[in-house]
Structure 1
């Protein structure tokens, strides 16, 4: 018999729960932000509010480990209000914000200012990255204590004017992070190669749709990936390679994982759905990002690596800009990046509809794997009692056409997926038991989002006798 003494806050009734390894019909109830019941409707508790999910799928909310909310310093592109409304519209219940804001998150004081802005505005949960560079080395422990979700290392240039640090500083940073146990997300492109080739091409008069791709040939990513793996394997630092776009990286990743390198990898919808040869003119300007969208023949190998788990995570690299920053005459002058957090789930559910992946695979890459990689599992990434009430209710048959003008990233009303028809999408987004989006309408809930702190496994640092700190001691011996 149902427990009539328990009054849940929300009951999702009549749906089919889908986790990464299974699916089953069940009602789901939440109380005080936590799932308190998953089971047969006859045993479901009474609730203050009921959401009818008949014919729908009930999945753990997506965790986007790679977003650029742009606040502080660049709110003409995005802020915590517009960015988290876009997330809610897209079935995303947690976003991780990159540290290349202005100022970059290089100290606990700067982190506190960013957190204050998020606490006032965010309607979905969030994690905050600290930056790993030469100025932050003395602040890594303080940032960790303040609750960063992890750290970000830019080995390739990007928005925010954060130069790639010296390799010696990277090694020292990895040595510190290995002892802390937090994961370091890495933009793995070789900056000296990129700048050299770009400057050579500008001098030669190259200013065409494919110049950006030519400057960032696969070798720049392969070199940086390999260097990151070597330093991770030596120090024991946990790393995460962001926005993987190269099919030639796949065997390198497989080999490193087989050796036990503590790494995870992400890719994004643009790298499995778009092709460089189709992106010219205005489409090329809109789709310009780092690393670039590559030749169409690279899409299927990246997708297959995502499906088989070689690539662990689906992120977005959500990177909004003001519209005028994407419409400059020279391709070199156009800002890199575009909104993605709102469209990702629709795009990938279309692949589910087409039979190219299963719903269970989508849940693994978009929710369960991110939760495990960043110390949020099993509190997030799964629909089960005791987990946070972060859920997306999905209509697998919903048809939609993506339009930039309709995006909730209202200062960035553009997308390279303009006009693309999708099948399947979120009809409700629930954050810690509260409905923040229903039937496409994002509800007002400023400040409801919570900062998420990681609980990582015990650190496993290596080669401690040769760390930078160790050799600074008088008389230290490297053994």
Structure 2
């Protein structure tokens, strides 16, 4: 049997179905064998993982690495270093950078910036009124997916009109590409914030009052209808409220291709923390009342919510600590702390390690077309592995974070369960809890391995391509023939 690059011996390999004692052989960046230690080939390097667990590296579908445009907040080097030290091996970056990732030129700028990444990555390009005509060009040049800011957030990108959103879904449905949606109603939020500002309210709770749960209910409902009509694939970002879960459950029951993420802050924090931390905790959607926490946990457990993401969104310290809540930038770092927070909840009995692997690895790679290459510890897959110690205890601290934005709501929080080592395609990018600086630039785009399932478009009469022209041979006032498939609840 030939010698391989690395053999990890003596660990416990975790999948969504089981935890088994096994060794893992790695060669040329991929896993070549998983099984009994006696059956493993010799390795040029051998690593003992006794009493440790081998998890597929976490896939974070929602990060803001701020590069290009805001290097004082974050860069690809610092953001991906934070990911590596958090057991995250692949990230998907959001388009609200400067310039926004809504043109081929802006996408190429971002891809150049990402050449310094420690971890693998996908790029969500911008879906807006001004990008409809270049969606396919963006895909051709390296975008993996799209993001529609139906609710406003940092960068103040205009929300796409309903007409543009529907047209984009008509284009993307036959391609099988998934669109992430920030689902809040911008009109309601803008009016309420203006009214409160005029009344002189600058307290932290004003942010929550400006973005009530109905904003999420309405926006999720709207995108579900457009997706159901067209067959487009959608992904709901940072699900924050219990009240919108029924919309998602019903959509999934009807067969809408919808995936959903929530974040540790919506599972573990509430308005009591917002009162205590003020602008540090300003984020969109807002941190809500405690009544939402357990229903979101329940939704993760029953599959209504598919995955964990972080909405990692760092800012400079002075941009978060301001007197008025309206002038505190929205977001905070999270990619480095997610795994420790969730493993701590596993240790408390709220979930199993198998559940966590399903939420952090398997569901994301299925959503973004990476299953088989990533998200599993199995022969043929990339050797993306987080090696964790479920007994390691500690306290999360601002000062230990790799991110530039060293202001975290998790500062001072006790955790039990840490990633100690992270491998990306067989290479250590974090070892013994320390960043391997020589691995900077090791990350690669996942575009070349992305294989989305066969698309299932509906009610798309070559839609947008024929908006400005009548069908060949038809009178100019004739309507194109549409093979409409109307969902039962809309008939």
Q: Normalising TM by the smaller chain, what interval? A: over 0.9
Contact 1:403 1:414 in 2 (8 A): no
> Is it true that 1:319 corresponds to 2:313 in the alignment?
yes
Once the two structures are TM-superposed, the CA of residue 191 in structure 1 deviates from its matched residue by 0.6
Question: In 1, distance between residues paired with 2:455 and 2:258?
Answer: 13
Classify the secondary structure of the residue corresponding to 2:380: coil
Structure 2: runs of 5 or more not aligned: 471-477, 483-491
Question: In 1, distance between residues paired with 2:468 and 2:79?
Answer: 44
Once the two structures are TM-superposed, the CA of residue 468 in structure 1 deviates from its matched residue by 3.5
Classify the secondary structure of the residue corresponding to 1:400: strand
What residue number does 1:178 align with?
173
Within a 5 Å distance, the mapping from 1:139-178 to structure 2 comes to 139-178=134-173
Once the two structures are TM-superposed, the CA of residue 478 in structure 1 deviates from its matched residue by 4.6
Question: In 1, distance between residues paired with 2:467 and 2:420?
Answer: 57
Once the two structures are TM-superposed, the CA of residue 466 in structure 1 deviates from its matched residue by 8.0
Once the two structures are TM-superposed, the CA of residue 23 in structure 1 deviates from its matched residue by 1.3
Classify the secondary structure of the residue corresponding to 1:172: helix
Within a 5 Å distance, the mapping from 1:234-313 to structure 2 comes to 234-280=229-275, 283-313=277-307
Deviation string 1:194-215 (CA, Å, 9 cap, x unpaired) is 1000001111121112000000
Question: In 1, distance between residues paired with 2:18 and 2:192?
Answer: 48
Contact 2:57 2:361 in 1 (8 A): yes
**Number of positions where the alignment pairs a residue of Structure 1 with one of Structure 2:** 472
Deviation string 1:91-118 (CA, Å, 9 cap, x unpaired) is 0000100011101111222111111111
Contact 2:171 2:464 in 1 (8 A): no
Contact 2:29 2:425 in 1 (8 A): yes
What residue number does 1:386 align with?
380
Among candidates 321, 330, 334, match of residue 336 of structure 1: 330
Question: In 2, distance between residues paired with 1:149 and 1:248?
Answer: 30
Among candidates 413, 421, 424, match of residue 417 of structure 2: 424
> Is it true that 1:114 corresponds to 2:107 in the alignment?
no
> Is it true that 1:435 corresponds to 2:435 in the alignment?
no
Contact 1:21 1:360 in 2 (8 A): yes
Deviation string 1:151-207 (CA, Å, 9 cap, x unpaired) is 000001111221101111111111111121110000000111110000011111211
Return 255-264 or 454-463, whichever deviates more: 454-463
Among candidates 227, 230, 237, match of residue 232 of structure 1: 227
Classify the secondary structure of the residue corresponding to 2:453: coil
Q: How high is the TM-score relative to the length of structure 2?
A: 0.95
> Is it true that 1:375 corresponds to 2:369 in the alignment?
yes
Question: In 2, distance between residues paired with 1:465 and 1:137?
Answer: 17
Question: In 2, distance between residues paired with 1:365 and 1:265?
Answer: 10
Question: In 2, distance between residues paired with 1:116 and 1:41?
Answer: 41
Structure 1: runs of 5 or more not aligned: none
Root mean square deviation, CA, Å: 1.1
What residue number does 1:194 align with?
189
Within a 5 Å distance, the mapping from 1:460-479 to structure 2 comes to 460-465=456-461, 467-474=463-470, 475-479=478-482
Contact 2:93 2:121 in 1 (8 A): yes
